[in-house]
C-alpha cells in the first residue's frame, strides 16, 4: 500500500468508516506496526487494543504491555505477569 493510499485510509477511518478502521488494524497487525495500533487503541478502539496486546506479547514488548496495564487493561496486565513469570 502506498503512502497516499494509507493516508486516504486513515482519513476514512477518522471520519467513522468502520471498514477502513478494520483494514487499518489488520494492516498494522500484519506489518507489526505498534505505533498505528497504539494510535487506534488510544482512540478507544478495542479491536486495535486486542491486536496491540497480541503483538506486544509476541514481541516480548514489556514496555507496551506495562503502559496498557498501567491504563487499567487487565489483559495486558495478565500477559505482562505471564511473561515476567517465565
How much is the average pLDDT of 55-79?
95
Q: How far is CA 86 from CA 8, 28, 50, 52, 79, in A?
A: 43, 28, 22, 21, 11
Residue-wise pLDDT for 35-66, tens only, equals 999 999 999 999 999 999 999 999 999 999 99
Q: What's the domain count of the chain?
A: 1
Residue-wise pLDDT for 1-30, tens only, equals 899 999 999 999 999 999 999 999 999 999
How much is the average pLDDT of 56-84?
94
Query: What confidence score (pLDDT) does residue 86 get?
Result: 62
Q: Which residue has the higher pLDDT, 27 or 85?
A: 27
Using CA atoms, how far apart are residues 13 and 48, in angstroms rounded to an integer? 13
Q: Which of 26, 28, 23, 30 is nearest to 39 (CA)?
A: 28
Domain that holds residue 44: 3-85
Amino acid at each position: 500500500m502506498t503512502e497516499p493510499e494509507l493516508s486516504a485510509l486513515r482519513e476514512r477511518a477518522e471520519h467513522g468508516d468502520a471498514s477502513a478502521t478494520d483494514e487499518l488494524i489488520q494492516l498494522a497487525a500484519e506489518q507489526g506496526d505498534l505505533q498505528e495500533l497504539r494510535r487506534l487503541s488510544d482512540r478507544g478502539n478495542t479491536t486495535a487494543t486486542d491486536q496491540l496486546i497480541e503483538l506486544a506479547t509476541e514481541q516480548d514488548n514489556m514496555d507496551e504491555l506495562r503502559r496498557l496495564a498501567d491504563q487499567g487493561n487487565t489483559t495486558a496486565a495478565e500477559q505482562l505477569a505471564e511473561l515476567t513469570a517465565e
